[in-house]
Amino acid sequence: MKIIKRNKTEVDFDITKIVNAVTKANNAAKESERMTPTQIMRIADSVQKQCEKVNRALSVEEIQDLVEKQIMSHGAYEVAKLYITYRYTRSLVRRSNTTDDSILTLIECNNEELKQENSNKNPTVNSVQRDYMAGEVSKDITQRLLLPQDIVDAHNQGIIHFHDSDYFAQHMHNCDLVNLEDMLQNGTVISGTMIEKPHSFSTACNIATQIIAQVASNQYGGQSISLTHLAPFVQVSREKIRKLVDAEFEEIGTTLTDEQRDALVEKRLREEISRGVQTIQYQVVTLLTTNGQAPFVTVFMYLNEAKDPQLKKDLAMIIEEVLTQRIQGVKNESGVYVTPAFPKLIYVLEEDNIREDSPYYHLTRLAAKCTAKRMVPDYISEKVMLQLKVDKNGNGNCYTCMGCRSFLTTYVDENGQPKYYGRFNQGVVTLNLVDVACTACSETRDEEKFWKVLDERLELCHKALRCRHDRLAGTLSDAAPILWQYGALARLKKGEPITKLLYGGYSTISLGYAGLWECVYEVTGKKLTEKEGEEFGLKVMETLNAACAKWKAEENIDYSIYGTPLESTTYKFAKALQRRFGIIKGVTDRNYITNSYHVHVTEKIDAFKKLSLESKFQRLSPGGAISYIEVPDMQNNIDAVMDVMKYIYDNIMYAELNTKSDYCQVCGFDGEIKIEERDHKLTWVCPNCGNDDENKLNVARRTCGYIGTQFWNQGRTQEIKERVLHL
């Protein structure tokens, strides 16, 4: 059995440390108040048994809490008092330096918390360590100097989560839709170098990857680009290739028919498209940004975004090549094709591609094959999105999300035109709905008290969100020229503040939420899949939206509800709930809580019922949400994948299919790598050869809207293990 020390290293549980600590406190007490050695041993044994039941590595603080309770249960109140006093004194000493130990363990790769904090960061790499070191300092400054104490306390207690505090000391924002069209058509500047409009498709792709890397290094969230912005350069290359072909054959004195020339031009053009797409795929996978990971980039594929028929045909060629290359995958260090985490792909289902007689149905069929093998693309329904994303002109809009699920709200610019690209999200604060429910219902189910506590917590979140907004206000464009001066998000002047972009809906700021499933069950005793539970859950969502609407009306800041994709925070929230409320069946009895509005991963429900139910909640998450279904290997059943995609088109705005894509480097097994419990710890194991060395396993899983490949903490691992199939 393992424990997590204060410096975040993971070590074996040692019962003698408990015995020694209690004995010291015992010896300091009056002789008449002391316990016997047998009583002390019983306390230690009892704590050990409680630790074993939890089925995860407890922190030193959690174990000390258990020790306190056991001492008091033996009636040794004087000893308990001395033990508590000693803990408090030591905490004061530690508080004088809050970062040294965690940074040192990080450098030595012993920090278990940070090792599993991000499933797409390798903490052994120097650039990742450097980012984490800076992050530890930023978190310390944020908590000691930049945030009000009530926000810090609520964050540390797991009542809310103040996201990305490791970047908060700097004036950085969350995620964005890169205005690649502006940057490619009008030129940009990268690292002080003027980049003019490209003269070929392959050059445009190369410039796009440089823009992606620069943007990723100047914000901390995901970014999205549209293939539509690259499509015009297909025609540029076509004309260039046609001139070269004419010149070549004129030089050798040979004449081509128009058909021969067109065929040769298109053949060479497709070769260039292939090279350009390969540049994007391999550059994104191999680039390391200043935060030590591949750029968190989403590639958007939407045929109806093209402005004319020829552009749509050229866009279709690019989409086909992207899907074909993604199906192939990328080679790992052993030379075997595996599933990469990025770029994330989003494919729009629309009338031109969803039916067998649609002109681009072949692309959708190819997308289905890609999903079955590589877990991407994810799917946006143009039909549903046009119904949900209606702007002030009364027009429906279809556009990509940022990163894993974060959607901008609709916006109409000063010319009366809808605008998506060049906009961004200021940041996120997430409310732990399970904690609200447990606080209100700690003694008995009390719906009236729940709404009162929820209102109080919403005001706390509002205060925290204003901290995020105010931190960005006044930031000068010089802080990130690629973003604010050279077209990615704006074309501001040097020295000009970005403040005006924080108001009026140009950017959004997100009120996240998590654990609706457990919240509903704690308050009502019903599941979200039951009528009473569904009604209560929808009422909770409507209340969150009403709060955001009120704040927005008062402040002209675009607050929006966001279904938070908890990764490591799901474990943090679960541990906090267990500390605060103990083990409550169906509520706090797991090492994770459910993401956003999702049906619990253990709930047996078919794919279509799940998507139908969750679509009602997705409508109430305008700032971002995604639904998924868990499926087995579908590579030999593409028709079933197509059936799901058609259902998505008719019923839900944004959804994905989760399958598995693994490889064991020891024995070559390419089936599903399993999760087993070993020494009270969940471990990834090859079922063929028993290999459990994570350095010799390639495991790809949809974590929370995007694919993770660097493994996960114990809470998220338990969630992955317990997922049931929906198809």
Please write the tens of the pLDDT for every residue from 338-349: 888 889 999 999
For the residues 526-553, what does the mean pLDDT come to? Answer: 98
Token code pair at residue 513: 């939420």
Question: Residues 654-704: pLDDT tens digits?
Answer: 999 998 888 999 999 988 999 999 888 899 999 999 999 998 999 988 876
Range from 140-144, 350-354, 692-696 carrying the lowest mean pLDDT: 140-144
Global pTM reads 0.85
Residue 175 CA: distances (Å) to CA of 130, 215, 509: 22, 10, 10
CB neighbours of residue 86 within 10 Å: 15
**How many angstroms separate the CA atoms of 300 and 104, rounded?**
41
Q: Specify the pairing of strand 697-702 against strand 707-708.
A: antiparallel
For the residues 537-543, what does the mean pLDDT come to? Answer: 98
Host H or E run for residue 144: none
Q: Specify the pairing of strand 176-177 against strand 223-226.
A: parallel
Q: Please state at what angle helix 258-286 crosses helix 309-328, rounded to 10 degrees.
A: 50
| Nearest partner of 403 among 279, 222, 574, 146, judged by Cα | 222
Residue 122 CA: distances (Å) to CA of 198, 405, 439: 35, 23, 37
**Predicted local confidence at residue 54, as pLDDT:** 80
Spacing of C-alpha 212 from chain mean position: 18
String of b and e for 535-546 (b: at least 16 CB within 10 Å)? ebbbebbeebbe
Three-class SS of 494-531: CCCECHHHHCCCCCEEEEEEECHHHHHHHHHCCCCCCH
Whether the Cβ atoms of residue 258 and residue 183 lie closer than 8 Å to each other: no
CB neighbours of residue 88 within 10 Å: 9
Whether the Cβ atoms of residue 130 and residue 432 lie closer than 8 Å to each other: no
**How many angstroms separate the CA atoms of 18 and 40, rounded?**
9
| Res. 102: pLDDT tops 70 | no
Letter for the amino acid at 65? Answer: D
Q: Is the dihedral of CA 360, 365, 369, 371 positive or negative?
A: positive
Question: Residues 84-100: pLDDT tens digits?
Answer: 877 766 665 555 455 55
N-term to C-term CA, the chain: 36
CB neighbours of residue 669 within 10 Å: 17
Question: Residues 200-214: pLDDT tens digits?
Answer: 999 999 999 999 999
**How many angstroms separate the CA atoms of 279 and 59, rounded?**
45
Q: Where are the domains positioned within the chain?
A: 1-96, 98-146, 157-171+426-479+503-594
| Res. 219: pLDDT tops 60 | yes
| Res. 272: pLDDT tops 90 | yes
| Res. 111: pLDDT tops 60 | no
DSSP per position, 21-54: HHHHHHHHS-GGGPPPHHHHHHHHHHHHHHHHHH
**How many angstroms separate the CA atoms of 308 and 469, rounded?**
40
Token code pair at residue 188: 């940009």
Whether the Cβ atoms of residue 222 and residue 178 lie closer than 8 Å to each other: no
**How many angstroms separate the CA atoms of 499 and 597, rounded?**
33
Phi first, then psi, for residue 703 (nearest 5°) are: -85, -60
**How many angstroms separate the CA atoms of 2 and 288, rounded?**
33
CB neighbours of residue 196 within 10 Å: 10
**How many angstroms separate the CA atoms of 402 and 489, rounded?**
13
Which residues have a catalytic role annotated?
174-175, 402, 404, 406, 425, 562, 567, 705
Residues with Cβ within 8 Å of residue 485, at least 6 apart in sequence: 189, 477, 478, 491, 492, 493, 494
**How many angstroms separate the CA atoms of 11 and 484, rounded?**
46
User: pLDDT band at residue 632, thresholds of 50, 70 and 90?
Assistant: very high
Question: Residues 36-65: pLDDT tens digits?
Answer: 999 999 999 999 988 888 877 888 888 888
Residues with Cβ within 8 Å of residue 297, at least 6 apart in sequence: 212, 216, 222, 223, 224, 225, 284, 342, 343, 344
**Predicted local confidence at residue 313, as pLDDT:** 98
| Res. 103: pLDDT tops 80 | no
Whether the Cβ atoms of residue 654 and residue 380 lie closer than 8 Å to each other: yes
Whether the Cβ atoms of residue 657 and residue 688 lie closer than 8 Å to each other: no
**How many angstroms separate the CA atoms of 321 and 300, rounded?**
14
Whether the Cβ atoms of residue 400 and residue 177 lie closer than 8 Å to each other: yes
Range from 87-101, 154-168, 237-251, 327-341 carrying the lowest mean pLDDT: 87-101
**How many angstroms separate the CA atoms of 598 and 654, rounded?**
13
**Exposed, middle or buried, 262 (CB in 10 Å: 0-12/13-18/19+)?**
middle
Token code pair at residue 408: 């901008």
String of b and e for 581-618 (b: at least 16 CB within 10 Å)? beebeebbebbbbbbbbbbbbeeebebbebbebbbebb
Phi first, then psi, for residue 665 (nearest 5°) are: -75, -15
For the residues 406-412, what does the mean pLDDT come to? Answer: 95
Host H or E run for residue 344: strand 344-349
Phi first, then psi, for residue 470 (nearest 5°) are: -65, -30
Mean pLDDT of the chain: 91
**Predicted local confidence at residue 137, as pLDDT:** 77
